[in-house]
Chain A
Amino acid sequence: MALLEAENLEIRFGGVTALAGISFRVEAGEIFGVIGPNGAGKTTLLNAISAVYALDAGTIRFDGADVTGLRPHRLSRLGIARTFQIVQPFKAMSVRENVAVGAMFGHARVRRRAGWLAAADAALERTGLTPKAHLMPPQLTLADRKRLEVARALAMGPRIILFDEVMAGLNHTEIERMIDLVKSLKQAGLTVVIIEHVMKAVLALCDRIMVLNFGAKLAEGAPEDVVGDPKVVEAYLGQRFAKAHASAHASALASAQAAAGGAP
């Protein structure tokens, strides 16, 4: 069953159409990836889903109910959590308090101090931030600040998490750890939407991928199919490369066939 359904989402900034009628469904329990070149509208799409931007047209359904036009806090209480690409910690609160706010006000809505601290500590444990619980956000490395974004979203007790480039700016070891974390979320039954440039992470994690280009949907499907799609290659690397890629692909195929044909 689709947990999140978007239909014909449209957002315009003046004369620029940032999202030109995008439709997709995210099934419960899957990891759904959104990729695309810079400026394709990925973050705008995420902002549209989490109501940070108002839609110019389209509808969004969550768990079967129409949630179009609800304000961000209402969505968060329904169980939609997100992270920000540009991390936005509450800089005058400790790491632990930052995460506790998620437990106080998200889907979980824990009203007792012991409860929200326990929820915060659990989220910190899961993201590996426990040793840094009492630091202030400006004292954290970028990787830890990205983890803080994830911990805050987790403490909200969400049903779906939207990750906006949580891997960007991380080194290889940190990316591996983040991939493991996202995998563990799926195992725990969470539905995940990730926007990502790091293809290694996308391929390792996603059940399905949607590719955006110039605010429109270019392709959608299983990761291996989408990545091989000539349209996608062209969008990322340009027409010349796409042609070269296609002919290399074709000649490789032809020689493989010739080899196969010549064998008996």
Chain B
Amino acid sequence: MSPAPAIAPRVLILGALAVLGVALLAAAPLVLNNYWLRVLTTVFMYAIVTQGLNVIVGLAGYHAFGNAVFFGFGAYACGVAMTLGAPFPLALVAAGAFSALVAGVIGWPILRLRGHYFAIATVALNLAAIQLVIQVGGITGGAQGLPLPLSDLPPGPLYRAIYLVMLAGMVASTLLVAFILTRPFGYALRAIRDGERAAGVMGIDTTATKVAAWAISAGVTGFAGGVWAYWITFIEPASAFDPAIGVKAYMMLILGGMGTVIGPVLGAFVLEFLSTLVWGGFLQAHQIVFGVLIVAICLVAPNGMLAAGRALLKRWRSRHGAA
């Protein structure tokens, strides 16, 4: 009756592969040059942001086009905390917590609405945040930007440390999504995605569940923003709250597979490597080439690479099983 025993060996193999992959990535800084170290750190960063987006968009089905606003809030929370003298780990906690708090406070009223209002509201929030930081000024540095205190570490070890922190964040956020999916909270999110009215009638507090999901999403995204701020050591409103970060994360989520555990990581790797390669190969026209590639991928695998891969595997099996 239960399919669990049949799945277990496959899960074990996939788990072993994942552990091996993480171990290789963790050891990679020993051999990588600075360029590839930077590319991979960026991949991990986007994987975290995409995983954060996955919680609210992939699991709960609530589109949050402006979710990168929490990347900015995280960056600024980290920057301000460190300016006030907090050590980096504490500043990272502040980055996640502050972003989650903002999502909780704003989400409580706007997530009562169903449907597309929320998506629009997040975009407005993203744009408003830029103005907010500029107007507040003071400790945020306002329009002039905010330089973060420099690390005692020399650049080489520092970049390796940041690489490892981003890697840890990617692994942790992926495990978090996997964990959520096994809990009633995860079922509640999927129920809301598939039919919010039925979910409410079946006893799910839809508003509280959505707000919690958005706060988790924001916390994860804010963490990535915090690490990013320390990495580049100087932040300004337009780059920290760049809507392009959210757009890119969206593409990665769609590419990898919404609502899946590993899809966001896969999407981040493929898209970031692709964009790096295109950038190197087509110095003049990289945006056009990249755009065409994205459209092509969306046409071939509209439900993400994971779903497309599964379908291919199934077709291959049935063809060879029948023969």
Interface residue B314 (Cβ < 8 Å from any Cβ of A): no
Decide: A93 and B202 in contact? CB cutoff 8 A.
Answer: no
Q: Which residues of A contact B198 (CB under 8 A)?
A: 84, 88-90
Q: How large is the interface on B (under 10, 10 to 19, 20 to 34, 35 or more residues)?
A: 20 to 34
Q: Which residues of B contact A116 (CB under 8 A)?
A: 184
Are A72 and B194 interface neighbours, CB within 8 A? no
Q: Which residues of A contact B3 (CB under 8 A)?
A: 134
A72 touches B187 (CB 8 A): no
Most chain A beta-carbon contacts within 10 A, residue among B188, B194, B202: B202
Other-chain contact of B187, A50, A71, A100 (Cβ < 8 Å)? A100
Is the CB of A133 closer than 8 A to any CB of chain B? yes
Q: How far is the CA of A14 from the CA of B187 in the complex (A)?
A: 36
CA distance A111 to B187 in the complex (A): 12
Task: Give Cα A134 to B199, complex, Å.
Answer: 20
Check A89/B195 contact, CB under 8 A, given A111-B184, A113-B182, A133-B1.
Answer: yes
SS of B interface (majority): helix
Give complex CA distance A121, B203 in Å.
19
1/0 contact string of A82-110 vs chain B (CB within 8 Å)? 10100011111100010011101111010
A102 near B202: Cβ-Cβ < 8 Å: yes
Contact check, A52 vs B195: say whether CB atoms are below 8 A apart: no
Whether A93 contacts B203 by the Cβ 8 Å rule is: no
CA distance A31 to B198 in the complex (A): 23
Partner of A107 from the list B190, B193, B203 (CB cut-off 8 Å) is B203
Q: Interface 1/0s, chain A 185-219, versus B by CB < 8 A?
A: 00000000000000000000000000000000000
Cβ of B201 under 8 Å from chain A = yes
Contact of A77 with B by CB under 8 A = yes
The answer to whether B206 has its CB under 8 Å from any CB of chain A is yes
Residues in chain A within 8 A of chain B (CB atoms): 50, 52, 71-73, 76-77, 81-82, 84, 88-93, 97, 100-102, 104-107, 109, 111, 113, 116-117, 121, 133-134, 152, 156
11 other A-B residue contacts (CB within 8 Å) besides A88-B195, A104-B184: A72-B197, A73-B205, A77-B203, A92-B193, A93-B190, A93-B191, A101-B188, A105-B202, A105-B203, A106-B203, A116-B184
